[in-house]
Amino acid sequence: MRLRTALCSAVSALSALALLSACSSGSTTSASGDTPLVGVDYPRSDTDFWNSYIKYTPQYAKKLGLSLKTTNSQNDVAKLTANAQTFISQGVKGLAMAPQDTAAIAPTLAQLEAKKIPVVTVDTRPDSGNVFMVVRADNRAYGEKACQFLGTKLAGKGKVVMLEGGLDSINGRDRTEAFNACMKKSYPGIKVFGEATNWDGAVAAQKLQTDLTAHPDIKGVYMQSSFGLSGTLQVLKQKGLLVDPKDKKHVFVVSNDGIPEELKSIAAGKIDATVSQPADLYAKYALYYLKAAIDGKTFKAGKTDHDSTIIQVRPGLLEDQLSAPLVTADGATYGGVPSVKSDDKSLWGNNLG
C-alpha cells in the first residue's frame, strides 16, 4: 500500500512538472508571437530634437505591442550599415532608420530587402532603393514657410543668411532649394547668403559671425534645424543684435524642429518662428508602419486618418507626409502661410514631461 502511494505521488509530481514545462513553453511562444521584435537605429543623440525622438520610441513600441532593439549610428552611414548587420543577426522582423546620407544607404536597403526585412525610413528619404514607407514631413514646405515668414517681416527687401544643413541629405536639399526658389519668385529684392554647415552648430555659428561682420545690415536668419539655435543666439548677443522684435536692430530668425527651447525663445522674443517637426509622430508612425508591414498590410497614396497625406515619390515608394506647422508668437498668417502660437498645447514641444 505504501509503495503504491509513493508511486502515485511520484507520477503526480512528474505530471505536474511536465504540465508546468508545457505551460512555460507555450507562454514564451505566445509572447514572442504577440510582440514581434523590431529594430530602430537612432541617427544621433546630440540634438534636442533627436533626443526627443529617442524618448518617444520605446513609449510607442510598448503601446503598439512591439519588442524593441535599438542602436545609434551617430550620423555615420558606415555605423548604420554595421548596426543593420547586428539587427539582422538578432532576428528583427522590421527596421526603422533615419539615414543622413541618403545616397550611401542603398546597398544596405538592398540587403534588407533580400532578407525580407521591411524598412521604414524616418525624417529622410533614400535617393534609391526600396522601403516599406517613408515617414517625414514635407521638407520643401519647411523652406517655403521660412521664406514667406522672412519675406513678410522684411517687406521683400534686405539680406538674409540661410544656415544650410547637409546637402548629402534629402532634407538639406529640399529646404535649401525650396527657400531659394521661393525667395527668387516672391521676394527678388532679398539677397540670400547660403552657408553649408553639415548640420554642425559650431560651423553654423562661425559662418554666421563672418557674414554679419561682412554685412552688418543682414536682417534675417534661416536655420534649417535647431542645431544652430544656441550658436546663433550667442553670435547675435555678441553683436548686440539679440534685442526685442520691435527694436530696429532686431534680426528675424526662423528655425526648424519645434523643440521646447525654440518655443521658449519665440515667447521671449529671441527668435521669431520655427516649423514644428513632429518628433512624437515620427516615432509613432515609424513603428506603426513596421507593425503594419509585419502584419502584411499595404497602403496607397491619399489622405490618411491622422491629418497627413501619403504621396507616391516614385514607383513602389510611398511617403507619409506628416503635419508640420509654422509656429510664431502671434499665430498670424505670413505670405499666405497660417501659423500657430508658440504656447499652443497641440505642439509636441509643449508636451514633454
- In this prediction, residue 33 has a pLDDT band, given cuts at 50, 70 and 90, of low
Per-residue pLDDT, 352? 80
pLDDT, mean of residues 60-66: 97
What digits encode the pLDDT tens for the residues 108-163? 999 999 999 999 999 999 999 999 999 999 999 999 999 999 999 999 999 999 99
Per-residue pLDDT, 4? 42
Residue 315 C-alpha cell reads as 514607383
Place of cell 528655425: 255
Q: Rounded to an integer, what distance in angstroms lies between the CA atom of residue 46 and that of residue 182?
A: 31
- Comparing CA positions, the residue from 326, 178, 167 lying closest to residue 257 is 326
- In this prediction, residue 101 has a pLDDT band, given cuts at 50, 70 and 90, of confident
pLDDT, mean of residues 336-345: 97
pLDDT, mean of residues 66-77: 96
pLDDT of 64 > 50? The answer is yes
pLDDT of 203 > 70? The answer is yes
pLDDT, mean of residues 239-268: 97
Q: Rounded to an integer, what distance in angstroms lies between the CA atom of residue 133 and that of residue 137?
A: 13
- H or E element at residue 314: strand 309-314
Per-residue pLDDT, 299? 97
pLDDT, mean of residues 64-91: 97
Q: 295: how many CB neighbours lie within 10 A of its CB?
A: 8
Across all residues in the chain, what is the average pLDDT? 90
pLDDT of 11 > 70? The answer is no
Cα torsion for 48, 337, 193, 203, to the nearest 10°? 0
Place of cell 547637409: 166
- In this prediction, residue 168 has a pLDDT band, given cuts at 50, 70 and 90, of confident
Per-residue pLDDT, 166? 86
What digits encode the pLDDT tens for the residues 218-233? 999 999 999 999 999 9
Q: Rounded to an integer, what distance in angstroms lies between the CA atom of residue 99 and that of residue 106?
A: 10
Burial class (CB in 10 A: 0-12, 13-18, 19+), 185: exposed
pLDDT of 8 > 70? The answer is no
Q: Look up residue 229 and give its DSSP letter.
A: H
User: Considering the chain, what percentage of its residues have pLDDT values greater than 70?
Assistant: 90
pLDDT of 23 > 70? The answer is no
Q: Rounded to an integer, what distance in angstroms lies between the CA atom of residue 17 and that of residue 23?
A: 10
User: Considering the chain, what percentage of its residues have pLDDT values greater than 90?
Assistant: 86
Q: How far is CA 197 from CA 26, 50, 149, 225, 341, in A?
A: 54, 18, 22, 11, 29
Query: What strands lie across the sheet with 252-257, from one edge to the other?
Result: 190-196, 158-164, 220-223, 252-257, 273-276, 326-328, 337-341, 333-334
pLDDT, mean of residues 39-55: 94
